[in-house]
Structure 1
Amino acid sequence: MDNSNKFVSGLLLVWDVITLSLTFLLSISLFKENSFQVMDWLVFFGLTTLWFVIVLSRKLYLSDMGQDVSSRIVNFLKSCIILIVLFGLTYLIFTFPPNFRNAVIAFSIGFPLLGVTTNFIIISLINRWGNNGNRHKDVLVTGMGNMVNQVNHYFNGHPNLGYNIKGFVKYSEKSTDNDAQYVSDISHIGDYMNENHVDEIIVALPIKCSKKIKSILKTADYHGARVRFIPDYKEVLGEDYKVIRHGKIDMINARQMPLDNKLSNFIKECFDWCFSSLALLFLAPLFLIIAILIKMDSTGPVFYCPVRIGKAGRPFRVFKFRTMVTNDNAGISSTQFNDPRITRVGKILRKYSIDELPQFANVFFGEMSVVGPRPHRSYLNQQFQKAVDKYMVRHYFKPGITGWAQVNGWRGPTETQEQKQQRFRHDLWYLENWSLWLDIRIIWLTIFGKKTHSKAF
């Protein structure tokens, strides 16, 4: 278990103990007539000790925090049930005051409910923190000259910046003076990235001063004049770039977008958090009704959780209501018009995109955004990557429940080149022109727009 997992495990352990303590103390205060007595404190310390024994035996805090959220919650609930059963047996076997019964019932109900709620919130905050640049970025470095070594030494010496340099890419045959081992060369960098995850590529190239520039610098120095050099970045990078300074190293962020701004990203994160929290709260009764209807309509689970590709090309599981008799877990078979697998309830859910509503849980946990490019299956993602130029740019940020492409009618099938191009162009336009008001407009059009549901089946 690495340091980040140890921190998260420790945080969850402390929080669960606090939750247990608050629930027990409140149960005694509200449902037991007499004030705290010695026996109450003995029961409290006994429950706390029993909780430690249960969670250690079930390895609740030793598992990988990168596991599915559902696995963590289920394991927590099982631990709660074991604790409550043992507590109930102790109450039945030994003699307790009559007024202690209500406190036992209150604790048995309150601890699982409060515990699940707080666990959802804590895991959501942890995932949101990790999904917004606060994890290590896997980086390749390429270039020529001493600047390559400077980049390597600087980021290795400042691990708090989150750059994990995986190795050098040989820029030319002359590139033999670096301290790190080469993992590829320019010609085969794509092959390396097919097998290894890479978040960023740092290109460190010196600007070779011509004799004329050196002459100007010499004359300016002689006369005490300042020189400001303007490199022509636009010729290579276009209009969208930003110069960022790390120590004494200037880095150019190619394809700078609005959400690269920390304030803009923070505003979007706050909006996602608030919107998804309210949505889950108000939609909970509807979710219960839909779950019952799905169960009555056909056999199988209520939810369908396929793997989709998210930010930085990382896979995650999305929450959806099951709308088919059988689901394609391999992620290859696309839904067809009048697909015989779609259930009666499923037709209604898909028509109005109600099956997508559980994805507010993905937003709550920081895996998705309310608005953004729709997440695709791995198989479809690979098709797009080969067929559409610069397609993977849409993975710079989180995918969304709805998006600019969807409200403009480009949802559903992606069988033709035009359908693929149009979906990507709309996604890219959204990323390049993001604003909070644009997000609100897209949400409005998702609910009331005519084009949004025209191609749903």
Structure 2
Amino acid sequence: MIFKQNRYSNLINPILYILDLAIVNIIGLLLFSDYQLPKIFFLYISLVWIIISIKNEFYTVYRFTKVTSVLNLLIRQFAFFFLFLYTFIGVYKLYSIGNDIIIKYFIVISTIVFCLKFIVYGLLMTFRKFLKGSSRSVVVIGKNKKTDQLISVFSDFPEYGYHFTKQYNPKEKNFTLSEVFKFIQTNNINEIYCSVSELKNSELNEIISFADNNIKILKFIPDNKNIFSKKLKFEYYDYIPVLSLRDIPLHNPLNAILKRTFDIVFSIIVILGVLSWLTPILALIIRLESKGPIFFRQLRNGIDNREFYCYKFRSMGLDNGGDKFQTVKNDMRVTRVGKFIRRTSIDELPQFYNVFFGTMSVVGPRPHMLKLSLEYEAIVDKYMLRQFVKPGITGLAQVRGYRGEIEEDSDIINRVKFDIFYVENWSLILDLKITVQTVIKAIVGDEKAI
């Protein structure tokens, strides 16, 4: 079913964000229409709502979040909002606004947002329970009281959207991780739950490596082993504590929409401000030197290992084997104009169309052609962690000097280390910093550009 293949719930939080902001402002315009409120008031309440939402994680509601937790989020959100609302009125000394109208405004928006929040919460639960939408297939490794309780949670709360498929008992003689891994790959399992107490450290490391390299979500049912030494995140499924091994910042819908907004705005600026006039000029120069298309496209691996066409200005002659061999220094296949546009990174500019249409991001791990991805996956442990986010036109590895030809295994190993750091530590500030450093390198030149 298409419901099971697409996680539409990721779109709900950004839409709710916009709706809530609209409610806060529209109700304010209607109720305060008789008062001469400064325009900064509406900017202020919008910024306050956004800041409080981020601080309280107001829109971070998981499929296993309880009603009481949602209610707690709402109470905290509006308590702080009411405090900041009164602060503004006190600072600007808007005494003409009576307490009754302020309380009325507060009650109206809180009632609407409360209802909207619980309606969406209920609809999502119903969607998962009865339509089996946005379901996540899971396996459990371990056989004890805690694992049995977790499996009961999956069965007793179908509204969480977890589809339990199989349980493995590590104490059985015929238990092998290779059999588990084969089942997970064959049945397209999304999440793996492990009982730490029943697995050896070597087995835990093997499971972690498998999950990282196959883009599977891995969670632990905890005990007192040294897995606690890692940076983990506690979650509760009903009353069962579960540990997440890795928290990807861009899996947070608010972070995702923030990054996507940056991508759209930046790509539009480049497309309209640069590509609109540069493309005809380069088209003429490229065609004068060698016949053929202006753009070169190549299949590469993107988010969740999905294939997509990556676009560039053509910098080589035709029939150059560009899909089979990576470019090396002083490559004879590169044309004269190709050398210039590659050295200045101008050849990468058409990828802003990829960014605009959502297959790439401005900043992210650089995508590799399919053949190289298979080779690197065999060489570099946790290589597939890069696929948790969209690939980028530029990335942390590139601005740190790991760009161009892969001459030794250490080159791609170090590049992937920076990519994984980016995936696990993303922030908009980091994106802006990498973007600025990339522009500077493009202007002054990069000796590793080939």
Distance 2:297 2:376 in 1: 22
Aligned counterpart in structure 1 of residue 294 of structure 2, from 262, 285, 302: 302
Question: What residue is the counterpart of 2:327 in the other structure?
Answer: 335
Shift of residue 406, structure 1, vs aligned partner = 0.7
Q: Residues 408, 153 of structure 1: CA spacing in aligned structure 2 closer, same or farther, 3 A cutoff? A: same
Question: What residue is the counterpart of 2:236 in the other structure?
Answer: 245
Shift of residue 160, structure 1, vs aligned partner = 7.5
Distance 1:157 1:292 in 2: 66
Q: Residues 171, 231 of structure 1: CA spacing in aligned structure 2 closer, same or farther, 3 A cutoff? A: closer
Identical aligned residues as a percent = 37
Amino acid at match of 2:264: W
Question: What residue is the counterpart of 2:206 in the other structure?
Answer: none
Aligned counterpart in structure 1 of residue 413 of structure 2, from 421, 432, 437: 421
Confirm or deny that 1:265 pairs with 2:263: no
Confirm or deny that 1:144 pairs with 2:137: no
Question: What residue is the counterpart of 1:314 in the other structure?
Answer: 306
Confirm or deny that 1:281 pairs with 2:272: yes
Amino acid at match of 2:355: V
Give 3-state SS (helix, strand or coil) of 1:243's partner: strand
On the 8 A contact 2:195/2:222 being kept in 1, the answer is no
Amino acid at match of 1:415: E
Q: Residues 405, 399 of structure 1: CA spacing in aligned structure 2 closer, same or farther, 3 A cutoff? A: same
Confirm or deny that 1:168 pairs with 2:166: yes
On the 8 A contact 2:222/2:241 being kept in 1, the answer is no
Q: Deviations over 1:14-59 (max 9, x none)?
A: xxxxxxxxxxxxxxxxxxxxxxxxxxxxxxxxxxxxxxxxxxxxxx
Give 3-state SS (helix, strand or coil) of 2:350's partner: helix
Q: Residues 145, 261 of structure 1: CA spacing in aligned structure 2 closer, same or farther, 3 A cutoff? A: same
Q: Residues 329, 245 of structure 1: CA spacing in aligned structure 2 closer, same or farther, 3 A cutoff? A: farther
Distance 1:341 1:198 in 2: 44
Confirm or deny that 1:455 pairs with 2:448: yes
Confirm or deny that 1:186 pairs with 2:186: no
Amino acid at match of 1:454: E
Alignment of 1:188-267 (within 5 A): 188-191=179-182, 199-203=190-194, 235-236=226-227, 238-267=229-258
Distance 2:322 2:145 in 1: 48
Q: Residues 186, 409 of structure 1: CA spacing in aligned structure 2 closer, same or farther, 3 A cutoff? A: same
On the 8 A contact 1:323/1:343 being kept in 2, the answer is yes
Give 3-state SS (helix, strand or coil) of 1:448's partner: helix
Distance 1:240 1:256 in 2: 9
Confirm or deny that 1:324 pairs with 2:316: yes
Q: Residues 169, 331 of structure 1: CA spacing in aligned structure 2 closer, same or farther, 3 A cutoff? A: farther
Amino acid at match of 1:455: K
Distance 1:330 1:322 in 2: 10
Give 3-state SS (helix, strand or coil) of 2:300's partner: strand
Q: Deviations over 1:268-308 (max 9, x none)?
A: 22211221222222222212322333233222222222111
Give 3-state SS (helix, strand or coil) of 1:319's partner: strand
Amino acid at match of 1:357: L
Distance 1:449 1:163 in 2: 47
Question: What residue is the counterpart of 2:340 in the other structure?
Answer: 348
Taking only aligned residues, the RMSD between alpha carbons, in angstroms, comes to 3.8
Confirm or deny that 1:431 pairs with 2:426: no
Alignment of 1:359-398 (within 5 A): 359-398=351-390
> Which shifted more, 233-242 or 267-276?
233-242
Distance 2:304 2:228 in 1: 21
Shift of residue 419, structure 1, vs aligned partner = 0.8
Q: Residues 289, 242 of structure 1: CA spacing in aligned structure 2 closer, same or farther, 3 A cutoff? A: same
Give 3-state SS (helix, strand or coil) of 1:267's partner: helix
Give 3-state SS (helix, strand or coil) of 1:312's partner: helix
Shift of residue 149, structure 1, vs aligned partner = 6.4
Structure 1, unmatched stretches of 5+, are 9-133, 177-183, 209-229
On the 8 A contact 2:296/2:314 being kept in 1, the answer is yes
Q: Residues 244, 407 of structure 1: CA spacing in aligned structure 2 closer, same or farther, 3 A cutoff? A: same
Shift of residue 169, structure 1, vs aligned partner = 6.2
Q: Residues 161, 425 of structure 1: CA spacing in aligned structure 2 closer, same or farther, 3 A cutoff? A: same
Give 3-state SS (helix, strand or coil) of 1:342's partner: coil
Amino acid at match of 1:456: A
TM-score (norm 1): 0.56
Structure 2, unmatched stretches of 5+, are 9-132, 200-220
Shift of residue 136, structure 1, vs aligned partner = 6.2
Amino acid at match of 1:277: I
Shift of residue 252, structure 1, vs aligned partner = 2.2
Q: Residues 156, 306 of structure 1: CA spacing in aligned structure 2 closer, same or farther, 3 A cutoff? A: farther
Shift of residue 333, structure 1, vs aligned partner = 1.0
On the 8 A contact 1:307/1:317 being kept in 2, the answer is yes
Q: Residues 153, 322 of structure 1: CA spacing in aligned structure 2 closer, same or farther, 3 A cutoff? A: farther
TM-score (norm 2): 0.57
Distance 1:433 1:275 in 2: 21
Rg: which structure is higher?
1
Q: Deviations over 1:387-411 (max 9, x none)?
A: 2222222222111110111112111
Q: What number of residue pairs does the alignment pair up?
A: 302
Q: Residues 157, 334 of structure 1: CA spacing in aligned structure 2 closer, same or farther, 3 A cutoff? A: farther
Q: Deviations over 1:402-423 (max 9, x none)?
A: 0111112111111212212221
Distance 2:382 2:4 in 1: 33
Distance 2:186 2:407 in 1: 27
Shift of residue 140, structure 1, vs aligned partner = 4.3
Shift of residue 263, structure 1, vs aligned partner = 3.0
